[in-house]
Amino acid sequence: MVKKAFVTGITGQDGSYLAELLLAKGYEVHGLIRRASTFNTRRIDHLYEGPQAEDKRLFLHYGDLTDGSRLVTLLASIQPAEVYHLAAQSHVRVSFDEPEYTGDTTGMGTTRLLEAIRMIGLDCRFYQASSSEMFGATPPPQNEETPFYPRSPYGAAKLYGYWMTRNYREAYDMFAVNGILFNHESPRRGETFVTRKISRAVARIKLGLDQRLYLGNLNACRDWGYAPEYVEAMWRMLQHDTPADYVVATGTSYSVKDFVTLAFDHVGLDWEQYVDHDARYERPTEVDSLIGDAAKANSELGWKAQVHVPELVRIMVDADLAALTQED
Ligand SMILES: NC(=O)c1ccc[n+]([C@@H]2O[C@H](COP(=O)([O-])OP(=O)(O)OC[C@H]3O[C@@H](n4cnc5c(N)ncnc54)[C@H](OP(=O)(O)O)[C@@H]3O)[C@@H](O)[C@H]2O)c1
């Protein structure tokens, strides 16, 4: 029997890599997509086959995290063995502008999905996309035992989703796990997230299409990994014998300034000639430093990050240069 997976957030960075991974492993993949007036499937267009195709294994369904009854009927009709819950309002800075919406989707969305699974008695394994932003102000290194101290509406909403996932595991004996993922990036990262904003700007400046790059806090330190490796960790969590929560990280720390320097260096430019500060990109409450300790994922899941920041920067800048050159 073909194994079925349901993926929320399939049009996002991680969802697109996860869909590739699951299809390569022989799964039938069902993705939740939002109805929009413009196409929002750019990241998975290369995987999609039309409704008439034979032996189709990727199916897309309209739905929204704010619509609980739709989640119930969809899960009841699909009957997936694995549910990967990746959809969220995932932008930390935007969560300060839209705290209520972020709570509704990023927080309550998890409850709606868990409750849909419970209501229909679906026998499945559930993955919750938890985040290092839940650690917030707690100093690094952070692991599964570290106390949480979120510093944004996004972090607080994710923490609610984290505890709901644990609660459904403990209360209803569900195989429900939290992947506490530290930042992970790729050429498919949204253009407004700082790493992609930098790689894209560097490529545009190098090609003479832009002159300046405006950034907020350059001193924030993050543990940045490579997204395709992180979706592999998600899958491994759901194949494990017992449900548990795992930190997924590289264990290294770089500042935004380091990322900027590496990116400009890669194309032979001096970053200080091009970068300006703009306070509008700063957060009302900042998270100074996140560095993950992924020892548990390493020992129990056999997972270890291979790509580190210097290589990640090169991958992202080269991809943006190639994309812009092709546009010509
Ligand atoms: N990337 C990281 O560094 C990182 C780290 C830790 C945790 N996470 C979490 O991991 C998950 C995946 O991250 P990502 O980087 O792939 O995020 P992303 O690129 O921003 O993708 C978010 C996805 O959620 C969907 N979505 C948003 N609101 C929705 C709603 N109301 N109903 C249904 N779908 C909705 C988006 O659909 P549209 O395409 O229509 O917008 C998109 O497919 C997120 O939950 C994120 O918070 C990410």
202-246 per-position pLDDT tens digit: 999 999 999 999 999 999 999 999 999 999 999 999 999 999 999
Mutate to test the pocket of ligand 1, among 48, 90, 112 (most ligand atoms within 8 A of CB): 90
- Please tell me if the CB atom of residue 186 comes closer than 6 angstroms to any atom of ligand 1: no
**Do 207 and 119 share a domain, yes or no?**
no
Tell me the pLDDT tens digit for each residue of 192-214: 999 999 999 999 999 999 999 99
Domain of residue 28 covers 4-185+224-248
**Do 34 and 170 share a domain, yes or no?**
yes
- In this structure, what CATH number is given to the domain that contains residue 112? 3.40.50.720
- Please tell me if the CB atom of residue 178 comes closer than 6 angstroms to any atom of ligand 1: no
Domain-located, residue 299: no
- Please tell me if the CB atom of residue 40 comes closer than 6 angstroms to any atom of ligand 1: yes
- In this structure, what CATH number is given to the domain that contains residue 284? 3.90.25.10
Instruction: Output b/e per residue, 138-159; b: 16+ Cβ within 10 A.
Output: bebbbbbebebebbbbbbbbbb
Tell me the pLDDT tens digit for each residue of 286-301: 999 999 999 999 999 9
**Do 104 and 128 share a domain, yes or no?**
yes
Domain-located, residue 70: yes
The Å distance, Cα 137 to ligand 1 centre, comes to: 23
CA separation for the pair 168, 159 (Å, rounded): 14
14 contacts 86 by C-beta, under 8 angstroms: yes
**Do 211 and 199 share a domain, yes or no?**
yes
What is the separation, in whole angstroms, between the first and last Cα of the chain? 47
Q: Domains in the chain: how many in total? A: 2
The residues annotated with a catalytic role in the active site are 131, 133, 154
Domain-located, residue 160: yes
**Do 217 and 81 share a domain, yes or no?**
no
**Do 214 and 75 share a domain, yes or no?**
no
CA separation for the pair 29, 19 (Å, rounded): 7
User: Per-residue pLDDT averaged across 154-178, rounded?
Assistant: 98
Contacts of 29 (CB under 8 A, 6+ apart): 4, 5, 7, 10, 19, 22, 23, 57, 58, 59
**Do 20 and 104 share a domain, yes or no?**
yes
Lowest mean pLDDT of 14-28, 40-54, 147-161, name the range. Answer: 40-54
Nearest CA to ligand 1 atom 24: 87
pLDDT at 327 over 90: no
**Do 107 and 134 share a domain, yes or no?**
yes
Tell me the pLDDT tens digit for each residue of 49-106: 877 787 899 999 999 999 999 999 999 999 999 999 999 999 999 999 999 999 999 9
**Do 267 and 181 share a domain, yes or no?**
no
CA separation for the pair 59, 105 (Å, rounded): 23
How is residue 230 written in tokens? 């992180």
How is residue 171 written in tokens? 């209360």
- Please tell me if the CB atom of residue 131 comes closer than 6 angstroms to any atom of ligand 1: yes
